[in-house]
Amino acid sequence: MTGAGPSRATRTPRASRGRGVACAVVLVTGFLLAGAATAVAYLSNPLGPWDHQSYDHIQLFGTLGLFFALLNAPVAVLAVTRRWLRPWWLVPCVLVTAAAWGRLTVFFPAR
């Protein structure tokens, strides 16, 4: 049975690299979506208390940014714990999540 195919030791690095690349593509796409939605939320400024559309846009895009950031979190944690990616991949996840949450709570403009 030793000549039946490649051993597990020769398959593991290539499979691990492929999983890491797949997770990196998913994470980068998710970070771009979350970052763009969060940026739109920060760039939307209401003209006054009567500008309900701007408040709605801030709420919508802040929520979308937080949703995409939280959707990326399990993928990032899984990839880092399985050692498919390095631990610094968690930093953008935490930063985008904190920025989106901050826009929805602390930095939400007063009405």
Q: Please state, rounded to an integer, the average pLDDT across all residues of the chain.
A: 90
pTM of the model: 0.83
* Residue 87 lies in domain: 31-104
**Hey, is 86 helix, strand or coil?**
coil
Residue 75 lies in a domain: yes
Residue 13 lies in a domain: no
As to burial, measured by CB atoms within 10 angstroms (0-12 exposed, 13-18 middle, 19+ buried), residue 69 is buried
Please count the structural domains in the chain. 1
Residue 14 lies in a domain: no
Mean pLDDT, residues 54-81 taken together: 96
Residue 23 lies in a domain: no
Residue 10 lies in a domain: no
**Pair 80, 87: CB distance under 8 Å:** yes
CA 34 from centroid of its chain's CA atoms: 6
Mean pLDDT, residues 67-91 taken together: 96
34 vs 11: which has the higher pLDDT: 34
pLDDT at 11 over 70: no
Mean pLDDT, residues 70-75 taken together: 96
pLDDT at position 4 is: 62
Nearest by Cα to 69 from 42, 43, 101: 101
DSSP state of 106: T
Mean pLDDT, residues 26-36 taken together: 97
pLDDT at 68 over 80: yes
Residue 100 lies in a domain: yes
Distance CA 110, CA 55 (A): 9
